[in-house]
Chain A
Amino acid sequence: MDDFFSGFAELFAQYDVLAAFWVNIQLTFWAALLSLVLGTVLALMRISPIASLQWAGTAYVTIFRNTPLTIILTFMYLVVFSQLGITLTDDLNSTFFWFAVIGLSVYHAAFVCEAIRSGVNTVPVGQAEAARAIGLSFLPAARLVILPQAFRGAIAPLGNTLIALLKNSTVAVAASVATETSSLMRTMIEFRPDLMVAIFLLFAVGYVILVIPIGLGTTWLSQRLAVKR
């Protein structure tokens, strides 16, 4: 048993595990923000009265929800970066980081959109009709009446999307982000195969520790913010 724990201590001493987790947290944070914005726009398109916008929103969601994330992130690296030569900053590492953020965002935006739409479905039609009846046109009605209630109804599915995003951020390695957890894990296993089980446990537990508060937090929030009807 002592051996087992000293194994952990050794790993922590040898590798900067926390820094790796920090990279995934940052990827998740920025991708969550971007995908929330993009997902909200997509949800607005899908509930808008304009048929072409509805169609475009639906097409986006269908394409990105059904494409493996690895392919999107590899595309960012191999096509957008290598072939087209697009860079976001002078620093290569931060370019890869932001490509990963964009890849994660465009993918998860599809899920955010669907989460928000499920929230919109919790808002009775009468709310939208009352908003229109006082002279609010589509965007103000959505912004002032529909979305504030839809977001409250969508907290739980949004929380699930956030959890998926955090775990999926490990796929960022496909966009060449070499400092995040799954890359570090591979390195550690390569050099310390003797501590393989401890290494696996370390990362598994690390993610559980990050994910549990998100689940608890969203459950608490969705109850606290629930719209009373």
Chain B
Amino acid sequence: MDQTTSTTGQPAADSTADAPSSDRALGAPLVELKRVNKHFGALHVLQDIDLTVRKGEVLVVIGPSGSGKSTLCRAINRLETIDDGTITVDGKELPEEGKALAQLRAEVGMVFQSFNLFAHKTVLDNVTLGPRKVRGLSKKAAEEQARALLDRVGVGNQAGKMPAQLSGGQQQRVAIARALAMQPKVMLFDEPTSALDPEMINEVLDAMVALARDGMTMIVVTHEMGFARTAADRVVFMADGQIVEEAAPEEFFTAPKSERARDFLSKILTH
């Protein structure tokens, strides 16, 4: 693999020595959710969610299937609307549909479980599309930036290919580059490695760890405990649409306070 990204190489390693929470100075609140509620019909998927993510913070969201993690993630850039409560990004409340919303979305990067690269465009065009059409960058400037970003996530040599020609791990790294190209204030990851073959998981996690080290604010839905321990400042445990527990990663994984979390962890650990 063409690894140019990671300084750790092995994010899955248990490295308490450089736990980021100790040396990272967290800034002002960047993403704030206040009493957010959301229903899908009769199902109350998000129940009075209060959550603050500070500038530079890496938050890992963990929880059983159907607990509302994806919905939470998607609500933050309004791919999902909420019923009540407020969500603010960098002090601005999420706008209704329209130009202002598009602008906000440009500042919130999103990485999907299924990559969602634009299937009819080359890797390079995937990364330049947003900067050119939303930010108004020239083709040349956008391509320069795109190549640098593709290099940064280790897929610089794939720029001319179509997404379908890439492996899942490569596609996901392109998707990360595509999101970064908008120079977002915060990046959302919804289970970015769960659609990947095991041998490709680390190449994506490496890119994410490197990003975390560069100071990116990140909200990451993942069950990768190695990543959480290496890169996260805080773990939020969700169950049945509620935030059940919040703690530093080490604390959460070694001494979960709630019964639900203990139960959940015992299940994923026996895998």
Contact indicator B119/A227 (Cβ below 8 Å): yes
> Contacts A136-B130, A136-B133, A137-B98 hold; do A130 and B117 have CB atoms under 8 A apart?
yes
CA–CA, A41 to B119, complex, Å? 23
Q: Does B25 contact A (CB under 8 A)?
A: no
B120:A137 contact, CB within 8 angstroms: no
A49-B97, A135-B102, A136-B133 known; A130 and B118 CB under 8 Å?
yes
* Complex CA distance for A130 and B182, rounded to whole angstroms: 13
Question: Is the Cβ of A134 less than 8 Å from the Cβ of B182?
Answer: yes
Is A129's CB within 8 Å of the partner chain B?
A: yes
| B84-130 CB contacts (< 8 Å) to partner A | 97-99, 101-103, 105-110, 112, 114, 116-120, 129-130
Which one, A107-115, A140-148, A168-176, A206-214, is touching chain B? A140-148
Interface: B164 (CB within 8 A): yes
Contact present for A129 and B112 (CB under 8 Å): yes
Q: Within 8 Å CB of A124, what residues of B?
A: 114, 116
Q: A133-B105, A134-B106, A134-B178 are in contact. Are A127 and B79 (CB under 8 A)?
A: no
Residues of A201-229 whose CB lies within 8 A of B = 227-229
The residue in chain B whose Cβ has the minimal distance to the Cβ of A145 is: B118
Inter-chain contact A140/B120, CB cutoff 8 Å: no
Contact between B118 and A131, CB atoms less than 8 A apart: yes
The answer for the CA separation of A152 and B121 in the assembled complex, in Å, is 13
The answer to whether B120 touches A130 (Cβ under 8 A) is no
Question: Is there an interface contact between B79 and A133, defined as CB atoms closer than 8 Å?
Answer: yes
Decide: A132 and B105 in contact? CB cutoff 8 A: yes
A149: interface (CB < 8 Å)? yes
- Complex Cα gap A49–B107 (Å): 22
Cross-chain contact of B119 among A49, A132, A133, A228 (Cβ < 8 A): A228
B178–A229 touching, CB < 8 Å = no
Task: Tell me the complex Cα distance, A127–B119, Å.
Answer: 8
Cβ < 8 Å to A, chain B residues 116-150:
116-120, 129-130, 133-134
**Known pairs A134-B179, A228-B119; A144 contacts B129 (CB<8 A):** yes
In the complex, B162 has a CB within 8 A of chain A: yes
Q: How far is the CB of B71 from chain A (nearest CB, A)?
A: 13
Asked if residues A135 and B110 are in contact (CB atoms below 8 Å), the reply is no
CB pair A229 B106 closer than 8 Å: no
Separation of A148 and B120 alpha carbons in the complex (Å)? 8
> Residue A126 at the B interface, CB < 8 A?
yes
Contacts of A137 in B (CB 8 A): 98-99, 101-102
Do the beta carbons of A126 and B116 come within 8 Å of each other? yes
Kindly list chain B residues whose C-beta atoms are within 8 Å of the C-beta of A129.
Answer: 79, 110, 112, 116
B202 close to chain A: CB less than 8 A? no
Select which of A134, A149, A152, A228 is within 8 A of B130 by beta carbon: A134
Please name all residues of chain B whose beta carbon is closer than 8 Å to the beta carbon of A131 when the two chains form the complex: 118
The complex places the Cα of A87 from the Cα of B77 at a distance, in Å, of 53
Which residues does chain B contribute within 8 Å of A227, judged by CB atoms?
119-120
CA distance A134 to B162 in the complex (A): 19
Q: Which residues of A contact B114 (CB under 8 A)?
A: 124, 126
Q: Which residues of A contact B109 (CB under 8 A)?
A: 133
A-B contact pairs, 19 of them (CB 8 A): A126-B112, A129-B110, A129-B116, A130-B118, A130-B175, A133-B109, A134-B129, A135-B102, A135-B134, A135-B182, A136-B102, A136-B129, A137-B98, A140-B134, A145-B118, A145-B129, A148-B120, A149-B119, A228-B165
Give A contacts to B, CB under 8 Å.
49, 124, 126-127, 129-137, 140, 144-145, 148-149, 152, 227-229
User: What 5 A-B pairs are tightest by C-beta distance, nearest first?
Assistant: A135-B106, A134-B130, A126-B116, A228-B164, A130-B116
Residues on B lying within 8 angstroms of A by beta carbon are 77, 79, 97-99, 101-103, 105-110, 112, 114, 116-120, 129-130, 133-134, 162, 164-165, 175, 178-179, 182
Q: Other than A130-B110, A135-B182, give 4 A-B pairs with Cβ distance below 8 A.
A: A132-B105, A135-B130, A137-B102, A149-B120
